[in-house]
Chain A
Amino acid sequence: MSVGSAAPSAAGARSADTSKLLSFYHSPVGKKAVMAITGLIGAGFVIAHMLGNLQVFLGPAVMNAYGMKLHESPPLLYGARTVLLIALALHIVAAVQLSRMNAQARPKGYAKWTPAGSSYASRTMRVSGPLLALFIIYHLLHFTSGVAHPNFHYQDALHRVPAPYENVVAGFSNPVVSLVYIAAMIVLMLHIHHGAWSLFQSLGLNHPRYTPALRSLARAASYALLTGNCAIPLAVLAGVVK
């Protein structure tokens, strides 16, 4: 039996090669899991960071002692910094790769597109992410290394331990700098607003009983971050912290 030459060709030429060993990260779901875990690290850090920074309201002694304490245990400080940097790098690499894949998946857009069920925050992750990356660079140069700080103080110049309280007050006394920080915190709020819920979805955790609570928690965390972090420059500008 043979099929004639005029017979049509089969549909479905492409198929998954299941014989290959799994490359977990190769899959978009794997990349999303990496983004979720690194995002969780990031979100945990920004919350802890905010709580630490809020000590500025307890006065220079407490704040600077906190800074000193961190510098007294280099394994802790550098360990944390390494984890954070790796997480950040992975988060960014995965985001860039996914964004490229997503752009290829929709080469031509719609003349008209109306959102039907998504939040503003979720649709702007691709914008809020890069903005936050830029902010992080500035923030590190500003308050960590002091390169971008016009008036950087050390509480222990020999061991190059910065004086966070003075640096914060000096830094935020400039209204332009404060504005940049406040704007960045709005962007952070948006990013966390979606990200802190979305990461659970990416990791496969969704349950009708708990997910609404998780979503509320994510929203609450994002608003808390906005309020807490913006309180500092505003307090400096208002002269409450000086």
Chain B
Amino acid sequence: MKIILHVWRQKDRNAEGKLVRYECPNVSEHMSFLEMLDVLNEDLTAKGDDPVAFEHDCREGICGCCGFVINGVAHGPMPGTTVCQLHMRHFKDGDELYLEPWRAMAFPVLKDLMVDRSAFDRIIAAGGYVSVSTGAPPDGNALPVPKSDAERAMDAAQCIGCGACVAACPNASASLFTSAKVSHLGLLPQGQPERHERALGMVRQMAIEGFGACGNIGECEAVCPKRISIENIARMHRDFLCAAFAERPHVETGGAG
């Protein structure tokens, strides 16, 4: 089948970009979306043109590298699917598709469909961990974890950090991403000691990075390839609000003699 693409082309971070029209004449329904772009890039290379830059790595929906907006929907029309796992059998001959990069102040475009998502790393660095150094932790079974808690933690922990939630949110909010980590660790006993600090730190960092506020509209969970629920966002709000009111003034305690 034939697919017509309008792809956002932008040379680098500072350049002006524009949509450029390409035709993909021989698309097989068994191809993945990225394989179609591979073929387009081979054609462009043969013509001496610059191939379209897009991020991708595992191509099985887990690394979180890939992702762009297809006709206004992050990761395209199939729910729970990253673009690398989106197969062309879901499109039809003659379809005209607009491919645009994630758009957010906190995700500057690097080239074409590639954006800089390092803001996500800094949000994790602001508290998305359990402060336990490598050493001799207690036995893995020392703290029983109710199966349902472990399952819910896993539901949240599945986040692949692709950024689709930010891309889909009209406010470019990173609430779903941030809340997934807050929930994952907040649901486990190991995450309790730093639960409040974590929520405060990560929420603050989210604002510092320039992400918008959550409007509870639910676009993020609709496009999330891992179907992470906005229930997590409520949990993050709850942890943040409890923490904000519970935070005690910092008191210096005496050191060892």
Contacts and interface: CB of A to CB of B under 8 A. Distances in A.
Interface of A: 11-12, 14-16, 18-19, 21-22, 24, 26-33, 98, 101-102, 104-119, 122-123, 125, 194, 197-198, 200-208, 211
A211 B231 contact: yes
Main secondary structure of the interface of A (DSSP, over half): loop
Interface stretch (B35-43, B55-63, B206-214): B206-214
Contacts of A202: 214, 216, 237
Contacts of B26: none
B249 to A, nearest CB: 8
Given A16-B204, A105-B212, A204-B239, A118 B72 contact: no
Contacts of B235: 204, 206
Contact of A106 (B104, B214, B241): B104
Interface stretch (B84-92, B130-138, B139-147, B167-175): B167-175
B54 interface: no
Given A22-B244, A32-B214, A104-B210, A14 B122 contact: yes
A117 B221 contact: yes
Contacts of A207: 231
Interface string B215-230: 1111101110000001
Given A32-B237, A206-B235, A208-B231, A117 B219 contact: yes
A207 B237 CA distance: 13
Interface residues of B, number: 62
B168 to A, nearest CB: 6
A118 B230 contact: no
Count chain B CB atoms within 10 A of each CB in A12, A113, A194, A202 and give the residue with the most: A113
Given A29-B203, A211-B231, A194 B216 contact: yes
Given A102-B172, A109-B103, A204-B234, A198 B216 contact: yes
Count chain A CB atoms within 10 A of each CB in B100, B168, B216 and give the residue with the most: B216
Contacts of A101: 171, 207, 212-213
A220 to B, nearest CB: 18
B162 interface: no
B5 interface: no
Contact of B222 (A27, A117, A206): A117
Contacts of A24: 244-245
